[in-house]
Amino acid sequence: MASHQALLIIDYTNDFVADKGALTCGEPGQAIDKGIAKLADNMRKDGDWVWFPTDVHRPFDHYHPESKLFPAHNVRDTWGRELYGETGKWFADNASKDTVKEFDKTRYSAFAGTDLDLRLRERGVDTLHLVGVCTDICVLHTAIDAYNLAYNIVIHKSCVATFNPAGQDWALDHFEKVLGAKVVK
């Protein structure tokens, strides 16, 4: 029987997490690595979908709105776009599994400009577990779209991180009080 749950590991790349990443959230992002890998392993073993919506950019794309806000990051075919740490190793070890998939996204939300909603509905998924970075940017925008598409949302507090503590606290509160998400440890 197919699972009705999917884990979305959002933007967990070197550029967003590693010390030398172009747009790193640093230690807070690094501290969630083992938790994400463990959660991915548990959910895969339970038959759940484990997907990696991953930010991708072209070099010198002056038309992309983020180019006015952030330095170049997650450029295709660079070290910065590779998945980070134990989570990246977990993906490499499990990428051939039918329930594990990485896909490109070019906007904050994993739904914007992708076929994510279609693929989830084909599989009967109604509950999304969200982890990764950044809590108050890409995780938040993905959660908002998930809410508007009537998915149940679970945020794993110990597996999300961002650049500043105020943004983290605000987003966690927003998930629960405005989007009706279940925020778990």
Is 103 a residue whose pLDDT tops 60? yes
pLDDT at 2: 59
What percent of the chain is modeled with pLDDT above 90? 88
pLDDT at 65: 72
pLDDT at 177: 98
One-letter amino acid of 93: D
pLDDT in tens, 127-175: 999 999 999 999 999 999 999 999 999 999 999 999 999 999 999 999 9
Q: How confident is the model at residue 119 (pLDDT cuts 50, 70, 90)?
A: very high
- CATH class of the domain at 5-184: alpha beta
Q: For residue 139, which of 157, 125, 160, 158 has the smallest C-alpha distance?
A: 160
Is 1 a residue whose pLDDT tops 60? no
Q: How confident is the model at residue 183 (pLDDT cuts 50, 70, 90)?
A: very high
Mean pLDDT of the chain: 94
pLDDT at 70: 72
> What are the residues whose beta carbons fall under 8 Å from the beta carbon of 10, sequence distance 6 or more?
52, 53, 110, 130, 131, 132, 133, 138, 139, 142
- Supply the pTM of this predicted model: 0.94
Q: For residue 11, which of 66, 74, 75 has the smallest C-alpha distance?
A: 74
Dihedral, CA atoms, 74, 52, 137, 155, nearest 10 degrees?
-160
What is the H or E stretch that residue 10 is in?
strand 5-10
Residues 177, 185: Cα–Cα separation, whole Å: 17
